[in-house]
């Protein structure tokens, strides 16, 4: 169709892709105009990444670029994120994608591209080797408000039989310059099944004997209590006070019962096996849970969750290289 604008006459082409075209055909068509092609693996610009040091807090702004080059007479509408304005691209253009836009679990990037009026849009995904970990420093308590993202640059599995290495381990490198080592025990220990807490037994009723050990009547105060009973009552008060203080201290501690990883197909190990080099180290003895396989659709990706460890209160990450680690 055409639209007159003064003396100029602009021809607006229809959508390149019809609304009822199957997804595979849509992706095949769009692959001709988008580089790297959909479903391929993309990388950030390493020159940009190297400019960010350990003290920088915005590693999520490290980016790569994707080139969009619509055919003549067509404009593509690209939705990069729900919190960003759509990009209308009518000529060859390089669009940025950021680490913060990646899916935390899969590491994939997803955009939506519409080729014109009547085209409801095609979801496009690219794969990356990056992942987003979640960490709470040991300076903070166990709650979501204190968590920070850590952007993983690489994940390398080292089998137990590799020369110069002892035991199975995984080495993680992050864009902030940190390098972590995760050592795994020689034998995997399944997570024990959850058991409900045992009910607290009711307090025993205290007897108030009126006779001493010789069968005589003991002296009692005006309330009818003997000296022995008063002593026992005093000890009971002290014990109750100590119990109350212990419960108060326990309530102040961060709660560790909420685990992201379930007990199913999961294993447990000491958090001392996760070496981050962070300071200060945690003063609490913690533990980690891990899985070799993931959720539906992502079975080959491992996961690790730790509560209290080397410089952290909480740490959770996806381990894409877990599939290369030998199981015991």
Predicted pLDDT of residue 262: 81
190-237 pLDDT, tens digit each: 998 877 677 777 777 655 555 555 555 554 454 555 555 555 555 555
139 φ, ψ (degrees, to nearest 5): -75, -15
Cα separation, 269 vs 305, whole angstroms? 10
Predicted pLDDT of residue 251: 45
Predicted pLDDT of residue 15: 84
List C-alpha distances in Å: 267 to 96, 133, 186, 225, 328: 39, 19, 12, 56, 12
DSSP conformational letter for 28: H
162-197 pLDDT, tens digit each: 766 678 999 999 999 999 999 999 999 999 887 767
The answer to whether 311 touches 277, Cβ cutoff 8 Å, is yes
Measure the CA dihedral 241/242/247/251, to 10°.
100
Q: How far apart are the first and last CA of the chain?
A: 67
The answer to whether 282 touches 313, Cβ cutoff 8 Å, is yes
With CA atoms as reference, report the closest residue to 59 among 177, 162, 166, 144. Answer: 177
Low-confidence ranges of the chain (pLDDT < 70): 1-13, 142-146, 163-165, 196, 205-257, 279-284, 295-299, 328
Number of H helices, E strands in the chain: 3, 19
Domain ranges of the chain: 17-126, 131-193+255-324
Cα separation, 102 vs 44, whole angstroms? 12
* CB neighbour list of residue 142: distance below 8 Å, 6 or more residues apart: 136, 254, 255, 256, 307, 313, 314
Output the six-digit token pair for 218. Answer: 């003991």
Predicted pLDDT of residue 17: 87
Output the six-digit token pair for 181. Answer: 């080592």
187 C-beta neighbours (distance < 10 Å), count? 7
Predicted pLDDT of residue 181: 95
238 C-beta neighbours (distance < 10 Å), count? 9
Predicted pLDDT of residue 211: 53
Beta strands in 277-328 (DSSP E): 287-291, 302-309, 312-319
Q: Which spans in 221-317 are helix H? A: 227-252
Predicted pLDDT of residue 114: 94
pTM of the model: 0.73
The answer to whether 271 touches 236, Cβ cutoff 8 Å, is no
Cα separation, 90 vs 98, whole angstroms? 22
Predicted pLDDT of residue 101: 95
151 φ, ψ (degrees, to nearest 5): -95, 115
Predicted pLDDT of residue 18: 79
Burial of 234 from C-beta contacts in 10 A (0-12 / 13-18 / 19+): exposed
Place of tokens 């080592």: 181
Cα separation, 153 vs 172, whole angstroms? 8
The answer to whether 106 touches 298, Cβ cutoff 8 Å, is yes
């Amino acid at each position: 169709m055409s639209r007159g604008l003064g003396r100029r006459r602009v021809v607006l082409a229809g959508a390149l892709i019809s609304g009822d075209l199957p997804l595979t055909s849509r992706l095949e068509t769009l692959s001709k105009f988008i580089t790297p092609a959909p479903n391929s693996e993309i990388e950030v610009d390493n020159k940009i990444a190297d400019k960010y040091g350990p003290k920088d807090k915005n590693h999520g702004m490290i980016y790569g670029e994707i080139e969009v080059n619509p055919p003549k007479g067509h404009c593509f509408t690209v939705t990069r994120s729900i919190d960003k304005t759509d990009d209308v691209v009518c000529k060859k253009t390089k669009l940025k994608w950021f680490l913060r836009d990646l899916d935390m679990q899969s590491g994939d990037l997803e955009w939506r591209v519409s080729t014109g009026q009547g085209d409801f849009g095609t979801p496009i995904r690219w794969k990356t080797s990056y992942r987003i970990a979640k960490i709470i420093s040991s300076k903070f308590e166990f709650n979501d408000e204190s968590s920070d993202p850590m952007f993983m640059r690489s994940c390398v599995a080292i089998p137990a039989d590799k020369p110069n290495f002892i035991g199975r381990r995984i080495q993680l490198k992050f864009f902030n310059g940190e390098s972590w080592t995760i050592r795994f025990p020689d034998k995997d220990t399944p997570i024990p099944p959850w058991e409900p807490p045992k009910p607290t037994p009711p307090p025993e009723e205290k007897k108030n004997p009126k006779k001493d050990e010789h069968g005589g009547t003991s002296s009692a105060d005006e309330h009818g209590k003997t000296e022995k009973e008063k002593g026992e009552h005093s000890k009971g008060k002290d014990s109750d006070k100590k119990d109350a203080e212990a419960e108060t201290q326990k309530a102040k501690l961060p709660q560790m019962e909420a685990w992201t990883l379930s007990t199913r197909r999961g294993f447990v190990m000491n958090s001392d096996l996760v070496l981050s080099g962070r300071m200060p180290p945690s003063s609490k003895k913690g533990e980690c849970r891990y899985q070799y396989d993931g959720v539906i659709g992502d079975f080959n990706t491992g996961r690790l969750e730790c509560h209290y460890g080397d410089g952290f209160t909480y740490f959770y990450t996806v381990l894409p290289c877990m599939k290369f680690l030998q199981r015991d």
